[in-house]
Amino acid sequence: MTAETVTQQNTSTEATPSSTPTGSDHTEHVDFLVIGWGKGGKTLAGTMARAGKKVAVVEQSEMMIGGSCINIACIPTKILVHDAENKRADDDTDEYFAKAVKRRDTLTGAMRKKNHSMLADLDSVLLVGGRAEFTGEREIRVTGGADTMTITADTIVVNTGSVANIPPIDGAQLGGRIHDSESLQHVDPFPNRLVIVGGGYIGLEFGSMFAHFGSQVTVLDRGPRPLANEDDDVAEVVAQALADDGVTIVNDASVTAVNDGADAATVTYEVDGETKTIDAEAVLLAVGRKPATAELGLEKAGIDTDDRGFIVTDEYLRSSAEGVYAFGDVNGGPMFTYISLDDNRILADQLLGEGKRSTKDRGSVPYTMFLTPPVARVGLTEKAARDEGYEIKVGAKLQADIAAAPRAKIEGDPRGIVKFVVDAKTDLILGAALVHVHSQEVINTVALAMRHDVTATELCDTIYTHPSATEALNEVLGALK
């Protein structure tokens, strides 16, 4: 198979990898091989190809070209979050949700096609469709139906991502009314009642989204309160916002069974020793994710994994097998697409640069939970800073009380809190929690300041546009002077 053959197959509206050759096993050797079309792997594949290297990318599903982010995670879910937030009271729920899903599918399809062409248009890239399995040191076999291809490479990146973790609960099997975060995006009919098992990042985000679409949402969380890693004051503000939007959170709930019955799904759970049940048209299992490594045959290549199945890597993303690296979710690091992108930078520096970058360079990595309003965080919480022995100053103010930042009031949602934790001795920012309209943007400014040792005073006295969400920094940090 040649790259030219692949390119000629890319004229259809649906982006597809090339098929494996028909007949007996075909062998290819390349300089650089990526297994899985994730963010970091696809980016480095393009870089290596433009550097004159022969590259192969293997993807088993044509619906995952471009990776999880554009197909089932970041982009499609945020389309649904945005449309849910903009639903009006007189919109027909079923019709409105169907239109939102159609918009989701249209955009992800366009992005999938674009991602395909970004690699297929490079002459030295071989795109292979099929399931990859290691058969030896830096050697894989790709199976597509009855056809196979063997690929050897000087360097291999495993970039297969993660999949939903299905808990060992009686009846917890996907299908019918029982969903993971991928299938729920196309739920049909729209559920008037939704039960979510798990009150973490995914569970709360989908709970907020579906409540805005019009579902009666109940979240069964095994912890004593939502957002266990946040300070109490921040978690309280978020929990109240969710309650205001119609999300019921049951804390200390231990789910024991899920049953998809004739008319509804029933979830059985225990709280304080009492057994309870709740019915719903749909149930979301949101109890974390696990690495997509089950059928890769990692042991045949001498690739070590931890007790959860994640590939063990060092600070340069090297696995235990020489010449094999792991990017993104599959290596057990933070499960964000921008972390996978940074993985790409680290290995690009190893292969084409000075070899200085590593995961130890990462500091002040922000994240956002896209609730309404969004919850953005970077660095240490107040509790964590005190536990680590810092002498700190804390600035915290409810968004509604911040006079200098009217943006949230302009947009009609003044809920939230802005909280900073500052080192009292150095005036450096140790952490921040931003819960307000546009916090997903403001947190990047804060993270950049932290990475470059910009003091709280400097960040406070900076000139920001008006009216903007960023102006809250002037007022909240100004109270610490």
In angstroms, rounded to a whole number, what is the distance separating the alpha carbons of residues 408 and 459?
Answer: 20
Are the C-beta atoms of 37 and 66 separated by less than 8 Å? yes
Q: What is the pTM of this model?
A: 0.94
Does residue 416 have a known ligand-binding role?
no
Residue 72 near residue 185 (C-beta atoms within 8 A): yes
Q: What is the pLDDT along the chain (481 residues), one digit of tens a residue?
A: 333 333 323 323 345 555 444 445 789 999 999 999 999 999 999 999 999 999 999 999 999 999 999 999 999 999 999 999 999 999 999 999 999 999 999 999 999 999 999 999 999 999 999 999 999 999 999 999 889 999 999 999 999 999 999 999 999 999 999 999 999 999 999 999 999 999 999 999 999 999 999 999 999 999 999 999 999 999 999 999 999 999 999 999 999 999 999 999 999 999 999 999 999 999 999 999 999 999 999 999 999 999 999 999 999 999 999 999 999 999 999 999 999 999 999 999 999 999 999 999 999 999 999 999 999 999 999 999 999 999 999 999 999 999 999 999 999 999 999 999 999 999 999 999 999 999 999 999 999 999 999 999 999 999 999 999 999 999 999 999 8
Domains 3-164+290-361 and 178-287 share a fold: yes
Cα 267 to Cα 256: distance, rounded to the nearest angstrom: 8
Architecture of domain 367-478: 2-Layer Sandwich (3.30)
| Amino acid at position 269, single letter | Y
DSSP letters for 176-238:
TTEE-TTGGGG-SSPPSEEEEE--SHHHHHHHHHHHHHT-EEEEE-SSSSS-TTS-HHHHHHH
What is the full DSSP assignment across 300-348? Answer: GGT--B-TTSPBP--TT-B-SSTTEEE-GGGGTS---HHHHHHHHHHHH
Q: Give the pLDDT of residue 18.
A: 55
Going by C-beta distance under 8 Å and a sequence separation of 6 or more, which residues neighbour residue 91?
A: none
Write out the H or E segment, with its range, that includes residue 135: strand 131-136
- The architecture of the domain spanning 3-164+290-361 is 3-Layer(bba) Sandwich (3.50)
Instruction: Choose, from 116, 436, 452, 466, the residue flagged as catalytic.
Output: 466
Could you give the C-alpha distances from 30 to 2, 57, 302, 330, 341, in angstroms and in order? Answer: 12, 10, 20, 23, 22
On whether 302 is known to bind a ligand per the annotation, the reply is no
The answer to the question of whether 463 is labelled as a binding residue is: no
Enter the CATH code of domain 178-287.
3.50.50.60
Whole-number Å distance between alpha carbons of 285 and 263: 19
Q: Kindly write down the DSSP assignment for every residue of 17-72, as one continuous string.
A: PPPPPSSS-EEEEEEEEEES--HHHHHHHHHHHHTT--EEEEES-GGGTT-HHHHT
Residue 136 counted as an annotated binding residue: no
Q: Is 340 annotated as a binding residue?
A: no
Concerning whether 466 is annotated as a catalytic residue, the answer is yes
Dihedral (C-alpha) 7, 8, 13, 15: value to the nearest 10 degrees? -40
- Is 72 one of the annotated binding-site residues? no
Domain boundaries, the chain: 3-164+290-361, 178-287, 367-478
